């Protein structure tokens, strides 16, 4: 991390007191393990239970790129951060206050990333200390030495030893024992925790559930006998029904709520879990997950299904999006509705496959050869992951266009509670009307003003036509004359302007006039808005703007920008910085939204971006805001 975020006052813990309970508005904790030890299951269960009890929550998974990387390596650390609060939580916060680590090496990875608060409490499995292997013992000594540079409160826990009393293989037990410890520390409702475990192991034998409950209870009881602190993050009973899930599940549920009936995909991290979720239940709703032979076939099948009267969608990530490029052009050219979900990860190429990035924006907007106008939108919360699919399907169908939904790895695995959606039958797509087509109807009967045209579906008598990627006229007949080509490009492009005319200007968070406006898109919204709020509390003149639509951009941006002395974007993608060698204002490569905003508004939009492979921290953003405002008048 580039800077040390400011921390709230640390809790004062009485070492002598038996079970002091400290009441706090929020807390950040992490569970860290080798891959395969279930830290994520533990952490996500904890997050879900917390949300169900009425806490605000946000979880972020820490996932190595391999399934079983070598154990006891910092790079192989697998885990989850959970931030819970009395109020709504919109991002992963700054630094962790409490960590449970299953070994010293995975803990080091978070220490080295400066992810742990200086006064963090660390519960560390002590098994390596007296390990048979002298190398492990030596690593333990060195790790503790390295960790001693901070004021962590390190508590050794006989995690493995206690688990071995219940299971033969502690790798399959530590996570539930840890969940028990956390449940005691944070005063969680044990019945709810057991319900969560029952749900998690619903496909397994009852004995598995029972063993896990024994581990849980052992963790609770060990914590009760050995720990001297507890944290109460008061819950509130929401006045409306709430649900809690991660972004990929929300996308899948949203797809079903939207009446999408075909998800054609090829496995790619971090998008695949959308299809895992859908594969369990989509077919009962009359839908289908088709796992195609490759990324190209995945979109091809979706396009074929859409041509035949459905609205289909495909889910992918950066490398897959690259492969789908030619088919996106075909969908645009044939005006076949299609929804493409891009769960962005670190790039370029294979990049950081399990980590978050927002580097596909320009590829989505401009990444296809030829002029390829399409709609691009980005959910910024888990709730929006659900609702954006309904919007996407409706736009795709109404405008006969491609809609790209830009999620990311942070939203994909992050859990957040939100208001339970009230499903509406009007969200569903209507079944194709196969009635006879009046004589003279053309397959692309463009309205000359809007470029919109009704869709003909195979099965409609009298409507026969051949969709083609070649330049064509209203009849979908191949035409190469200059006037036709110019006019059809205009009409396809016009649809975006028509869509834009139906959109509202985005809403600024904070003052209408200020010294600085911070613009973001997608999953960074929560961190940016939290930073803005803290900044305002410090008296800084700053506001925030989140853009849902990236193509077309929402209207009124130029007018909004005029009300701020400086405008900058904050994004998780790469940009040069002016203090780097050779870099100057002319050759500087900027954040992707910054490029887009500069080009469309002619405002000198600055940017601050990072590609750490992790979500942005509000504290870091606040530092940037302070720096930007301190820099005076020039941008």
Partner 1 sequence: MSENCGTLMGCGVEDERSFSMDDYSGPLARWCPGCGDHAVLAGVQRLLAKEQLKPERTVFVSGIGCSSRFPHYVDTYGFHGIHGRALPIATGIKLARPDLDVFAVMGDGDCCSIGAGHWIHAIRYNINMTVLLLDNNIYGLTKKQTSPTTPQGFASNTQPRGSFLPALDPIQTTLGVTNASFVAQTADWVPSHLAQTLEAAHAHPGFAFVRILQRCPVFTPTIFEEAAMNTDLTELLEHENGVTDEALKGVYPHTLYHDPTDIQEARRLAESSSKVRLGVFYADPGHARYEELRAVPKRTAEEKIALLNAEIDRYAV
Q: Which of 107, 185, 251, 330: binder of partner 1 (CB under 8 A)? A: 330
Instruction: Take residue 206 and report the two structure tokens written for it.
Output: 């009852």
Q: Residue 54: which residues within 8 A CB-CB, separation 6 or more?
A: 235, 236, 237, 238
The residue (of 461 and 482) whose beta carbon lies closer to partner 1 is: 461
Considering only residues 552 to 591 of the shown chain, the ones binding partner 1 according to CB under 8 A are none
The residue (of 134 and 461) whose beta carbon lies closer to partner 1 is: 461
Which part of the chain contacts partner 1 (CB under 8 A), choosing from 323-331, 340-348, 541-549, 564-572? 323-331
CA 193 → CA 36, 160, 176, 182, 234, distances in Å? Answer: 21, 21, 10, 11, 17
Considering only residues 476 to 495 of the shown chain, the ones binding partner 1 according to CB under 8 A are 477-478
Contact mark string toward partner 1, 288..317, x via CB under 8 A: x-x-xxx-xxxxxxxxxxxxxxx-x-----
DSSP conformational letter for 8: P
- 278 within 8 A of 263, measured Cβ to Cβ: yes
Q: Residue 606: which residues within 8 A CB-CB, separation 6 or more?
A: 566, 567, 568, 569, 594, 628, 635
Considering only residues 415 to 444 of the shown chain, the ones binding partner 1 according to CB under 8 A are 417, 420-421, 423-425, 428, 431, 433-436
Count of beta carbons in the 10 Å neighbourhood of residue 21: 11
Pinpoint the alpha helices (H) of 80-226: 104-112, 134-147, 159-164, 174-185, 190-200, 206-226
The residue (of 222 and 307) whose beta carbon lies closer to partner 1 is: 307
Answer yes or no whether residue 244 interacts with partner 1 by CB under 8 A. yes
Considering only residues 134 to 173 of the shown chain, the ones binding partner 1 according to CB under 8 A are none
Count of beta carbons in the 10 Å neighbourhood of residue 162: 21
Q: Residue 79: which residues within 8 A CB-CB, separation 6 or more?
A: 30, 31, 32, 33, 39, 40, 43, 61, 62, 106, 110
CA distance 523 to 298: 26
Count of beta carbons in the 10 Å neighbourhood of residue 509: 18
Q: Taking each helix axis from N to C terminus, what angle separates 190-200 and 39-53, rounded to the nearest 10 degrees?
A: 130
Place of tokens 């299609």: 338
Answer yes or no whether residue 198 interacts with partner 1 by CB under 8 A. no
- 297 within 8 A of 266, measured Cβ to Cβ: yes
CA distance 401 to 335: 5
Answer yes or no whether residue 320 interacts with partner 1 by CB under 8 A. no
The residue (of 17 and 198) whose beta carbon lies closer to partner 1 is: 198
Q: How far is the CB of 458 from partner 1 (least distance, A)?
A: 4
Size of the site for partner 1 (CB under 8 A): 77
Reference 49, options 417, 431, 564; nearest CA is 417
The residue (of 231 and 282) whose beta carbon lies closer to partner 1 is: 282
Answer yes or no whether residue 446 interacts with partner 1 by CB under 8 A. no
Q: How far is the CB of 222 from partner 1 (least distance, A)?
A: 29
Place of tokens 């200390």: 129
Q: How far is the CB of 66 from partner 1 (least distance, A)?
A: 26
Answer yes or no whether residue 335 interacts with partner 1 by CB under 8 A. no
The residue (of 242 and 362) whose beta carbon lies closer to partner 1 is: 242
Which part of the chain contacts partner 1 (CB under 8 A), choosing from 23-31, 65-73, 279-287, 388-396? 279-287
Q: Which of 36, 74, 238, 454: binder of partner 1 (CB under 8 A)? A: 238
CA 587 → CA 162, 366, 598, 600, distances in Å? Answer: 59, 20, 14, 19
CA distance 486 to 488: 6
The residue (of 287 and 552) whose beta carbon lies closer to partner 1 is: 287
Which part of the chain contacts partner 1 (CB under 8 A), choosing from 150-158, 261-269, 533-541, 587-595? 261-269
Which part of the chain contacts partner 1 (CB under 8 A), choosing from 71-79, 413-421, 547-555, 597-605? 413-421
Q: How far is the CB of 301 from partner 1 (least distance, A)?
A: 4
- 427 within 8 A of 257, measured Cβ to Cβ: yes
The residue (of 62 and 303) whose beta carbon lies closer to partner 1 is: 303
Q: How far is the CB of 28 from partner 1 (least distance, A)?
A: 21
Considering only residues 56 to 115 of the shown chain, the ones binding partner 1 according to CB under 8 A are none
Q: 172 exposed, middle or buried (CB, 10 Å; 0-12, 13-18, 19+)?
A: middle
The residue (of 80 and 406) whose beta carbon lies closer to partner 1 is: 80
Contact mark string toward partner 1, 460..479, x via CB under 8 A: xxxxxxxxxxx------xx-
CA distance 113 to 96: 11
CA distance 177 to 226: 14
Answer yes or no whether residue 379 interacts with partner 1 by CB under 8 A. no
Q: How far is the CB of 283 from partner 1 (least distance, A)?
A: 5
> What residues are paired with 30 via a beta bridge?
81, 99
Q: Which of 59, 264, 407, 410: binder of partner 1 (CB under 8 A)? A: 264
CA distance 177 to 162: 8
Contact mark string toward partner 1, 36..55, x via CB under 8 A: ---------------xx-x-
Answer yes or no whether residue 341 interacts with partner 1 by CB under 8 A. no
Which part of the chain contacts partner 1 (CB under 8 A), choosing from 82-90, 217-225, 285-293, 606-614? 285-293
The residue (of 371 and 436) whose beta carbon lies closer to partner 1 is: 436
Answer yes or no whether residue 267 interacts with partner 1 by CB under 8 A. no
Answer yes or no whether residue 411 interacts with partner 1 by CB under 8 A. no
Q: Which of 257, 263, 514, 545: binder of partner 1 (CB under 8 A)? A: 257
Answer yes or no whether residue 598 interacts with partner 1 by CB under 8 A. no
């Amino acid at each position: 991390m580039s800077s040390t975020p400011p921390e709230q006052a640390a809790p004062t813990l009485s070492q002598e007191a038996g079970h002091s309970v400290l009441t706090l508005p929020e807390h950040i904790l992490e569970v860290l393990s080798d891959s395969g030890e279930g830290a994520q299951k533990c952490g996500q269960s904890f997050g879900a239970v917390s949300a169900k009890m009425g806490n605000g929550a946000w979880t972020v998974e820490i996932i190595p790129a391999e399934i079983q990387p070598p154990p006891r390596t910092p790079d192989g650390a697998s885990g989850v951060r959970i931030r819970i609060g009395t109020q709504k939580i919109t991002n992963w916060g700054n630094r962790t206050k409490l960590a449970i680590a299953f070994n010293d090496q995975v803990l080091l990875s978070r220490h080295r990333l400066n992810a742990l608060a200086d006064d963090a409490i660390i519960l560390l499995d002590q098994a390596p200390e007296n390990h048979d292997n002298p190398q492990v013992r030596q690593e333990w000594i060195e790790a503790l030495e390295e960790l001693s540079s901070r004021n962590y409160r390190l508590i050794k826990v006989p995690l493995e030893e206690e688990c071995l009393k219940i299971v033969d293989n502690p790798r399959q037990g530590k996570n539930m024992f840890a969940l028990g410890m956390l449940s005691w520390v944070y005063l969680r409702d044990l019945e709810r925790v057991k319900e969560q475990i029952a749900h998690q192991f619903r496909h397994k034998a009852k004995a598995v559930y029972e063993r896990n409950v024994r581990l849980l209870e052992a963790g609770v009881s060990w914590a009760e006998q050995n720990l001297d602190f507890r944290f109460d993050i008061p819950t509130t009973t929401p006045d409306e029904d709430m649900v809690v899930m991660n972004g990929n599940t929300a996308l899948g549920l949203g797809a079903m709520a939207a009446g999408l009936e075909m998800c054609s995909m090829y496995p790619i991290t971090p998008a695949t879990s959308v299809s895992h979720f859908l594969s369990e239940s989509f077919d009962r709703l009359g839908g289908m997950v088709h796992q195609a032979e490759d990324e190209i076939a995945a979109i091809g099948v979706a396009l074929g299904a859409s041509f035949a009267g459905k609205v289909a969608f495909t889910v992918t990530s950066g490398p897959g999006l690259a492969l789908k490029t030619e088919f996106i052009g075909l969908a645009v050219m044939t005006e076949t509705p299609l929804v493409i979900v891009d769960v962005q990860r670190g790039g370029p190429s294979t990049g950081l496959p399990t980590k978050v990035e927002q580097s596909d924006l320009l590829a989505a907007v401009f990444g296809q050869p030829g002029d390829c106008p399409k709609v691009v939108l980005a959910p910024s919360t888990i709730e929006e992951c659900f609702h954006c699919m309904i919007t996407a399907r409706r736009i795709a169908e109404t405008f006969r266009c491609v809609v790209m939904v830009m999620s990311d790895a942070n939203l994909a695995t992050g859990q957040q509670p939100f208001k339970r959606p009230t499903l509406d039958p009007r969200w569903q797509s209507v079944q194709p009307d196969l009635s006879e087509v009046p004589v003279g109807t053309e397959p692309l009967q463009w309205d000359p003003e809007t470029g919109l045209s009704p869709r003909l579906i195979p099965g409609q008598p009298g409507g026969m036509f051949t969709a083609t990627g070649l330049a064509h006229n209203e009849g979908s007949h191949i035409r190469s004359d200059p006037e036709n080509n110019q006019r059809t490009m205009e009409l396809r492009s016009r649809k975006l302007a028509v869509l834009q005319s139906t959109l509202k200007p985005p809403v600024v968070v904070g003052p209408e006039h200020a010294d600085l406006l911070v613009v973001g898109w997608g999953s960074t919204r929560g961190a940016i808005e939290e930073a803005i709020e803290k900044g305002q509390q410090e008296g800084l003149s700053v506001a925030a703007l989140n853009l849902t639509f990236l193509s077309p951009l929402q209207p009124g941006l130029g007018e909004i920008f005029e009300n701020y002395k400086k405008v900058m974007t904050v994004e998780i993608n790469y940009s040069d910085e002016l203090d780097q060698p050779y870099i100057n204002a002319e050759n500087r490569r900027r954040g992707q939204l910054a490029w887009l905003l500069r080009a469309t508004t002619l405002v000198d939009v600055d940017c601050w971006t990072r590609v750490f492979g992790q979500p942005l921290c509000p504290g870091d953003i606040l530092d940037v805001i302070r720096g930007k405002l301190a820099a005076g008048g020039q941008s």
